[in-house]
A and B are shown apart, each in its own frame.
Chain A
């Protein structure tokens, strides 16, 4: 198992994280080290099994259908990096060159 620059580029794109070209080799090496380390789970014998483990309650508690907004101080626009007329704003999809 080896992770190369192409693979790093692919997963960085899935994760929407910019990675400069000159960082790729170092990052690839680090990720390869980590993934190589966790790959030791391959040694897990196929016949060894236990009941699936779930942390927390066995089953979901459900809430009654009531309009009762969770407490929040101030409106959402106060936090927004860019907003107008009560909307959050982002660049229009497709503006600029497609990556």
Chain B
């Protein structure tokens, strides 16, 4: 008999602000420890929080993009627990009156086709600092530069049925958040963090005991960690043991999940409304303005790229995966390139460069100019790739580059005729055989012309000239 898997994800994303959630300190990543701190984020006696408008705006936009209901009145609450990197001994978060509830994310499940995952809530909160355990012997080193950085916590329903599906959900969610400019969603810099709840059960039975899996630092590792945890739970149950409610950490090196060592404490966070912060009240008109200014979201983009622009679904999926890619694509098309041609370029040379540098080094208009050279027959497709490589490093028009590198194709009949005549003169025996009915030798002659022209001859122009000369008597 099979096991069903039930997975829900809690995702924390860092909101893309310059300053922290409740103070004017910088959110810059990678600064020396404890340099972006002040009385507020150090939790000094007497300091008070002052909330950042941009964090509220970005959180609202994220929630709107996820189809959530925005609550016109939400309340910040204190979540009380002791941890050395939590300066005040409580985290300012939202509890029973969050910013937004009841959204959904639709995506392609690897197993089930199109599925919809319920977003239970999205709330705003501040991040804790960072604890470094291996920096100084026997000591934990605390850096509070992160403390107070604004986060949105996005909690899904227990709607995913496999680790691969959880990964696909997280990927879809990330796309939406990047599209809306809410977050960089960089797992390396910790601006996107994923925690998962997983349980297994026999079909038709009530939900099993769930465990929490943390420390999954890439999308691939989300899938790996959850596969490992599912296997662990199934093994326990099949050997007649019970699953206990624990928090587990994923170890990417070994591919295993390990229960956290500290004794499981009863989580009694003693939430209550933060008396330092009056209720967050948003006007209907402001919310509508945010809704109206949302960019096109990945799903809509994919839909448009297939149905309106006419791309194959695969191409549309690749191009819509990142807003930067999609924007570039649209700019190239707008510059006059036929969409499928633009898509091919994007998924080829352009993507390779972008994945390496994170930038588009060739402006859309230059790429369009290059594509026009191909269309006009001025360069071959092969030659165009060499031109493109050069465009990455020099600031020159594509035509000039092709000229300089000697890659310009010749379609001038006079020049072609000269190369054709030379080739025919050099191969009298083959000409004889051709004229005797061996017409497949045309390919041989074209190849020879290309060779003689060192690739400059436009192959499309060669054939008619060749046929004409072969048909002409007296040569």
Interface residues in chain A, defined as those with a beta carbon under 8 Å from any beta carbon in chain B:
14, 16, 54-72, 75-77, 82, 84-95, 98
Jot down 9 A-B pairs with beta carbons below 8 A, ordered by A.
Answer: A54-B279, A56-B278, A65-B17, A66-B18, A69-B25, A86-B33, A87-B135, A88-B34, A89-B139
- Chain B residues near A63 (CB, 8 Å)? 24, 50-53
Decide yes or no whether B64 CB sits under 8 A from chain A.
Answer: no
Q: Which of B18, B138, B140 contacts A65 (CB 8 A)?
A: B18
Q: Indicate if the CB atoms of B24 and A69 lie closer than 8 Å.
A: yes
Q: Is the CB of A92 within 8 A of B278?
A: no
With beta carbons under 8 angstroms apart, the residue of A59, A69, A87 that contacts B23 is A69
Q: How far is the CB of A4 from chain B (nearest CB, A)?
A: 18
B residues in contact with A91, CB < 8 Å = 138-140
Nearest 6 pairs of A and B residues by beta carbon: A65-B54, A62-B53, A59-B281, A87-B141, A68-B24, A88-B142
**Residues in B whose Cβ lies below 8 Å from that of A62:** 51-53, 56
On chain B, the residues within 8 Å of A54 by CB distance are: 278-279
Q: Which of A60, A64, A68, A93 meets B140, CB within 8 Å?
A: A93
Indicate whether B434 reaches chain A with its CB closer than 8 angstroms.
no
Q: Looking at the complex, which one of B47, B140, B275 makes contact with A89 (CB distance below 8 Å)?
A: B140
- Measured in the bound complex, the distance between the Cα atoms of B275 and A56 in whole Å is 9
A-chain residues with CB within 8 Å of residue B136 when the two chains form the complex: 84-85, 87, 89
Residues of B within 8 A of A57 (CB): 278
13 further contact pairs, Cβ within 8 A, besides A69-B36, A76-B37, A84-B136 = A55-B275, A57-B278, A60-B281, A63-B50, A63-B51, A64-B53, A65-B53, A67-B26, A68-B24, A87-B33, A87-B143, A88-B84, A90-B140
- How far is B356's CA from A65's CA once the two chains are assembled, in angstroms? 32
CA separation between A92 and B133, bound complex, in Å? 7
CB distance A60 to B32 under 8 Å? no
**Does B19 lie within 8 Å of A72, measured CB to CB?**
no
- Contact partner, B25, options A55, A67, A85, A86, Cβ 8 Å: A67
B275-316 Cβ-contact flags toward A at 8 Å (1 or 0): 101111100000000000000000000000000000000000
Docked-complex contact B34 and A76, CB < 8 angstroms:
yes
Given A77-B34, A98-B262, A88-B279 contact (CB < 8 Å): no
Nearest-Cβ distance from residue A44 to partner chain B, whole angstroms: 19
Closest to A90 in B: B84
A67 contact set on B, CB distance < 8 A: 18-19, 24-26
**A3 CB, min distance to chain B CBs, angstroms:** 16
B35 beta carbon closer than 8 Å to chain A = yes
Instruction: Let me know if B39 and A70 touch, CB within 8 A.
Output: yes
Please pick, from B25, B50, B131, B278, the residue contacting A58 in the complex, using a CB distance under 8 A: B278
CB pair B142–A87 under 8 Å, yes or no, is yes
B81-112, CB < 8 A from A: 82, 84
Q: Tally chain B residues at the interface, Cβ within 8 Å.
A: 50
Cβ-defined contact, A89 with B39, below 8 A: no
A76–B270 alpha-carbon span in the complex (Å) = 29
Residues A70 and B279 in contact in the complex (CB < 8 Å), given A87-B34, A91-B140 = no
Q: Say whether A94 contacts B19, CB under 8 Å.
A: no
B441 at the interface (CB under 8 A from A): no
Q: State the Cβ distance, A18 to closest chain B Cβ, in Å.
A: 13
Q: For residue A14, which residues in chain B have a CB less than 8 angstroms away from its CB? A: 268, 270
CA gap between A58 and B281 in the complex, in Å: 9
CA–CA, A14 and B18, complex, Å: 35
Q: Give the CA-CA distance A64 to B23 in the complex, in Å.
A: 10
B261 to A94, Cβ gap below 8 A? yes
* Interface-central residue, B34, B40, B42, B55, by most chain A CB under 10 Å: B34
* B19 engages A66 (CB within 8 Å): yes
A66 to B50: give the CA distance in the assembly, Å: 12
Instruction: Give the shortest distance, in Å, between B279 (CB) and chain A (any CB).
Output: 6
B24 touches A89 (CB 8 A): no
Chain A neighbourhood of B26, CB < 8 A: 67, 69
A14 to chain B, nearest CB (A): 6
Q: Are A70 and B40 in contact (CB under 8 A)?
A: yes
Q: Is B114 an interface residue (CB 8 A)?
A: no
> Chain B residues with Cβ under 8 A from A95's Cβ?
138
A90: contacting residue among B39, B142, B263, CB under 8 A: B142
**Within 8 Å of chain A (Cβ to Cβ): is B144?**
yes
Q: Which residues of the other chain, A, contact B40 by a CB distance below 8 angstroms? A: 70
